[in-house]
């Protein structure tokens, strides 16, 4: 098995999602690189992939929720199905020496399909979503899109929103 290099076709154009996708691919590559190591290490790295996927899905679902994404339920269900499949493949890894290739093939196929279809559709929606200026949703969107990089700036925008809308 060979490791996979990040390709621009995996970018969806939303910084927060792209960064997490890069990290997920790194987790997959670590698993591939460890293929000749002890099974206990491989299992730990498989756990890392699953846990990172779970984190990434929660992050995406938060963005979908905050932006009122109309396909939130379907996208979230897709995430749940994948996590169940990953758990089943992880169990296979425990009991079979040849299961690593199947596990990696599954991950890579899913990763490429998911980033280039469902996540790209989400990114198109996020790119056009316009929350009320300085609302918490707006500030989170700016942070997620990489447009507000400072925590201090985030706090100032939130204070401004609260003073205008909650007084």
pLDDT in tens, 45-67: 999 999 999 999 999 998 898 88
33-37, 82-86, 105-109, 150-154, range with the lowest pLDDT:
150-154
| 3-class DSSP assignment, residue 167 | coil
Contacting residues for 50 by C-beta, under 8 A, at least 6 apart: 83, 86, 87, 90
Distance CA 20, CA 100 (A): 23
**Top-confidence residue, 101 or 134:** 101
- 93-115 pLDDT, tens per residue? 998 867 888 999 999 999 999 99
Question: Alpha helices, DSSP H only, in the chain?
Answer: 15-33, 39-66, 72-95, 99-116, 118-128, 136-144, 151-165
Q: What is the percent of the chain where pLDDT is above 90? A: 58
CA angle 40, 49, 140 (to 5 degrees): 150
User: pLDDT-derived band of residue 149, with 50, 70 and 90 as boundaries?
Assistant: very low
CA distance 82 to 68: 23
Rounded Cα distance, 63 and 126, in Å = 8
Q: Is 131 helix (H, G, I), strand (E, B) or coil?
A: coil
To 5 degrees, how large is the angle CA 110–CA 114–CA 119? 160
Domains of the chain, each with CATH number or no CATH: 12-129 (1.20.120.50), 132-167 (no CATH)
Q: How far apart are CA 156 and CA 105, in angstroms?
A: 46
| DSSP code for 8 | G
Give the C-alpha distances (Å, rounded to integers) separating 143 from 68, 91, 102: 17, 37, 37
What pLDDT score does 98 carry?
Answer: 74
Distances (CA, A) of 96 to 20, 31, 91, 93: 30, 16, 9, 5
């Amino acid at each position: 098995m060979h490791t996979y290099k990040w390709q621009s076709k995996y970018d969806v154009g939303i910084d927060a999602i792209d960064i997490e996708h890069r990290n997920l691919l790194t987790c997959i590559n670590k698993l591939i690189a460890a293929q000749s190591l002890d099974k206990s290490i491989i299992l730990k790295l498989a756990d890392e992939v699953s846990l990172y996927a779970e984190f990434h899905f929660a992050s995406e679902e938060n963005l979908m929720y905050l932006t009122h994404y109309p396909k939130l339920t379907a996208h979230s269900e897709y995430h749940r199905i994948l996590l169940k499949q990953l758990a089943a493949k992880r169990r296979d890894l425990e009991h079979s020496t040849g299961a690593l290739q199947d596990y990696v093939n599954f991950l890579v196929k899913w990763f490429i399909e998911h980033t280039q279809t469902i996540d790209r559709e989400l990114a198109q929606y996020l790119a056009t979503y316009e929350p009320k200026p300085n609302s918490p949703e707006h500030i989170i969107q700016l942070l997620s899109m990489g447009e507000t990089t400072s925590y201090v700036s985030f706090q100032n925008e939130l204070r401004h929103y609260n003073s205008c809308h909650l007084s």
